[in-house]
Amino acid sequence: MYLIALFLALVPSSSVETFSIETIDGETISVADGMHLTVVYIWEPKVEDVVNEFESLNTIASQHKGKSVQFIAVCTKKVEKVTAYLEQRALNYHHVAGKEAKRVTKALNLNGIVKTIPRHIVIGKDGEILQSAAGSCNTIHTLVEEALK
């Protein structure tokens, strides 16, 4: 099993400003736009826990399809590498990679302290960070349900 640690942590701010990103498919998505709850999943292809989690993440995304929630997967690897990886293992999220992924981590004020990957960040419609947690997605479904009420 691979363990990858990245220097990621939320700074004391508990909210983010509205920002837009471009997915690897060329779609523009706005975060903290007042209209969507946003689940950000930060991952790396070589982490075994990531591969094992894709099925659960796909189920969560499917259960919330058509609701005012968007799911964004962020990987700092090059777009070509992420695309090739996703051809083998489906993750039904909007995908951001490469330089655009680094923009996301900057917009989310991620820096400084070693944290493990995968990482889940749930951002309310108003930009409030509802959860930022390393590891599995066990609480994401419940948190999304509560936030959508």
Give the CATH number for residue 23: 3.40.30.10
pLDDT recorded at residue 149: 80
pLDDT recorded at residue 111: 57
pLDDT recorded at residue 116: 65
The 3-state secondary structure of 23-36, one letter per residue: CCCCCEEEECCCCC
Domain housing 32: 5-148
How many other CB atoms are found less than 10 A from the CB of residue 35? 9
pLDDT recorded at residue 109: 75
Read off φ and ψ for residue 19, nearest 5 degrees.
Answer: -145, 155
Give me the residues of the chain with pLDDT under 70, please: 1-13, 111-116
> Is 130:14 a contact under the CB 8 Å cutoff?
no
Number of domains in the chain: 1
**How far is Cα 4 from Cα 118, in angstroms, rounded to an integer?**
9
pLDDT recorded at residue 9: 37
> Is 89:54 a contact under the CB 8 Å cutoff?
yes
